[in-house]
Amino acid sequence: MNVSSLFRHKALFKKETFSPSIPCIFLILASCAGRAPAPVSVVQPQDRYLDCKAILAEVETNNKKVSELASEEGLKVAQNVAAGVAGIVIPVLWFGMDWQGAASKEVTALQSRQQYLATMAEERCQKPERESEPEPKKKSKRN
């Protein structure tokens, strides 16, 4: 089928044909706005093998991830405000707004994971209690 034969089919270019497709295109574009959240699970399969050192390393890694997500969330808020204001003039920009809130959902999941790791650390990172050592006997003074 060549281009000239497409133009001969006037049914393709009727107003009724294209009007339902335009909202569908905008819905598809709107679903692409923002990224899907990927929250971590609170309990993970490798947790039973973690020792104190590994727990503390994961807590540090999670703290860094939370700070990165906080800055991402701040940028998304600024982007949404800009798109919302500019959308008054150009409404198509509203489709670029992030409605999924991926960063905040991931931060919430990381905070739950951190609480779980804290309870694990309490159990596994306790310093062993020293058995009470017998005090050295004092030499008695003989007169």
Question: pLDDT tens, 48-80?
Answer: 999 999 999 999 999 999 999 999 888 888 888
User: Residue 79, SS3?
Assistant: helix
Query: Cα(120)–Cα(44) distance, rounded to whole angstroms?
Result: 12
Q: Is the pLDDT of residue 121 over 70?
A: yes
For residues 85-91, give the mean pLDDT: 88
pLDDT of residue 16: 52
pLDDT of residue 29: 56
Q: Whole-prediction pTM value?
A: 0.61
The CB density around residue 43, as the number of other CB atoms within 10 Å, is 10
* Residue-wise DSSP of 92-141: GGGGGS--S-HHHHHHHHHHHHHHHHHHHHHHHSPPPPPPPPPPPPPPPP
CB 111 within 8 A of CB 70: no
User: Residue 78, SS3?
Assistant: helix
Query: Cα(84)–Cα(19) distance, rounded to whole angstroms?
Result: 25
pLDDT band for position 134 (50/70/90)?
low
